[in-house]
Amino acid sequence: MKKFHTSLWASENPVISVLQSLRPALLPPGLVKEGSLYACPMIYSSPTGCWEAERERRRDCLALRNSESSGKLQLQEQVCAACGMRSYASLALAQLGKDPSQAQLAQLRQLVDRGNLHLSRLFKVEYYFDRVRDMEITISRMGTVMQSMADPVILTDNQHRVIIQNRAAERFFRIPEGISEGGRRAVELNNLLFSAALSSMVVGASDASRDLTLVDVMEGEEVLFEAVCAPTYTRAGTRTGMVTVLRNVTDLRRADQEVRANLEKLRAAEENVRQDRDRLNLVIENVGDPIVVADNSAKIVMLDPLAKELFASVEADRHPEVVKNQVKLDAYLTSFTFSFADKENKPLRLYHAGSRSEIEYAARSGKIYDARGQVAYTVTVLRDFSTWKRLEQLQLERRILEMEKFAATGRLAGTIAHEINNPLEAIKNAIYLLKGRLDAPSQPIYEVLKNETERVTRIVRQMLGLYRNAGQLGAFDLNAVVEDTLTLFGRPLAKVGVAVDKRLGALPGMKGSADQFRQLFSNLVVNARDSMPEGGKLIIKTKYIRATDGVHGTLQITVADTGTGIPKGLYRSMFEPFVTTKGEKGTGLGLWIVKGIVENHAGRIQVRSTVGKGTVFRLSFPISIDSAAPVRR
């Protein structure tokens, strides 16, 4: 054997020819000193065959091929496709004498075959031992990986019985020692829920995921899992069970719900923004004033239709005045944008193409800030100041005209009353002299003449009272005037069933004519009584509203009734002379006189009336409190 120093697979090595032919042979002389060498190849062969190959009815197993092969040995192909075992080949060398007999060679071959049988068994045992060892290592590694997983992993059979589970799964499905009865029930409930989930997946033939809510026995809280299942099969394709991985998605679902809620809020906010934008566009289109929106660099980003007429509706080369408008606006916006003022109100004279003249506008501007407190936009509204001034002038002229008309009417009424008063006194004296001198049939005519004369006297007295000067002016107690008026009309009011609700507050001294205020209250009380012929309620309320400076204030008088009310058609003319709803019984001068007294004392009068429900008169008088003036009740 010492002569086999060359490479085993060298082409000149005689052993190779023996292994390649797989037949015993006598080696050429010269390899040993005496006799010859008999080389008999031994290769793995199993008389029983491979059980895995037989089970799968495969003919490519190494054991089957070796028992049937008669060709050359191809070591790289000698691997069992069923069990994975690799082939083994060895060579038995025996030294023979110079002339070995056939009997010796046959005996040697039998010995080699017997050794080959035992050797192949050893190879098979060693191979399966290695496979078992490798499988144990693989199982150990898989178990380590499984136990190290934070998610519960459960392997079950076809009856949903747990074969193996990791420590994370034992937290939910295994009853620990010393647990309370509630914890025990929680574990049992978890097992029932898990078994029901597996059953539903099997019945539905679904291997997908589904949600599963379990109870954490240690924490006592519900945990939402996503169960991901996959079936296990044998080599023959038979289903043996299910592998389930439970992923904790509690925080994920909570975050998903929050995201969905925020998304809904965002959609609602977007809808609100869209509606606000539409409303804003509608307001901008119908506001009636030019509106200019600029960014924080004083660059115009939006013009409403009216503003476009001033700054962008015509070509500048055809109308140079538009260029002047743009220059004025740019200068104004730049000055306001980079100033420290939040609001600004300045006049701007701009050329208006429609009227072909310059119009004075009141530019009212404000700033819009972003989240960082920086100026984002500026909004400027151009109010046609000339139109506003013309309107104020018209209102002032109308008021002056009304005042002059009222004064002229008062003077005329005073003149007429004065001229009528002298002959009226003569008529009254003549009627007085006729008293007791007429016969019985003429007595009714006398009474009519007397009553109508007194009525004319009252009208003349009211007209004279309106025209006369205020008389003696001074401080008086307004509440005392109210008390005197109610005392005077207490019996007539009670006669028609009118209840009086008197609410007199603490008032400062009132400066003016007490006689005129008695006339004012008398007229309002008489009107209220006449509007409630079948009874009702009369409310008279006084109060003082102090201004923030503590010196000035407003004295407010409210006279309300529950009578028939004033028709809407008389709202504008109720304070004009000779307007009445009482027919022949009324003079139409009561409210006219009330208005005159209120205006003489720089007051305001407001009326609110509903037909069938009543009328409310609210009188307001501005006053200033003297530090020495007492406050009366």
DSSP secondary structure, 69-128, as one string: --S---GGG-B-TTT-PBP-EEEEEEEE-SS--HHHHHHHHHHHHHHHHHHHHHHHHHHH
- Contacts of 161-165 with C-beta under 8 Å, sequence gap 24+, read 163/241
Q: What would the two tokens of residue 47 be?
A: 């008389």
Distance CA 55, CA 236 (A): 10
Q: 375 has which bridge partners?
A: 369
Mean pLDDT of 243-258: 85
Mean pLDDT of 474-500: 87
Could you tell me the pLDDT band of residue 578, with boundaries at 50, 70 and 90? low
Mean pLDDT of 438-445: 80
- The pLDDT score that the predictor gives to residue 141 is 86
Count Cα neighbours of 421 within 13 Å in the Cβ-side half-sphere. Answer: 14
Distance CA 261, CA 476 (A): 68
- Among the ranges given (354-358, 453-457, 525-529, 537-541), the one the predictor scored with the smallest mean pLDDT: 354-358
Mean pLDDT of 354-373: 81
Assess whether pLDDT exceeds 90 at residue 539: yes
Distance CA 485, CA 525 (A): 8
SS3 486: helix
User: Residue 82 burial (CB < 10 Å; 0-12/13-18/19+)?
Assistant: buried
Assess whether pLDDT exceeds 60 at residue 441: yes
Mean pLDDT of 84-94: 65
- The pLDDT score that the predictor gives to residue 102 is 79
pLDDT in tens, 119-177: 666 666 776 777 778 888 888 888 888 888 888 888 888 888 888 888 888 888 888 77
Q: Which of 323-327, 471-475, 609-613 tops mean pLDDT? A: 609-613
Mean pLDDT of 202-222: 72
- Is the model more confident about 469 or about 420? 420
Assess whether pLDDT exceeds 70 at residue 588: no
Could you tell me the pLDDT band of residue 73, with boundaries at 50, 70 and 90? very low
To the nearest whole number, what is the mean pLDDT of the chain? 76
Distance CA 541, CA 529 (A): 17
- The pLDDT score that the predictor gives to residue 298 is 83
Asked if 221 and 250 touch (Cβ cutoff 8 Å), the reply is: no
Assess whether pLDDT exceeds 70 at residue 320: yes
Could you tell me the pLDDT band of residue 630, with boundaries at 50, 70 and 90? very low
- Is the model more confident about 419 or about 537? 537
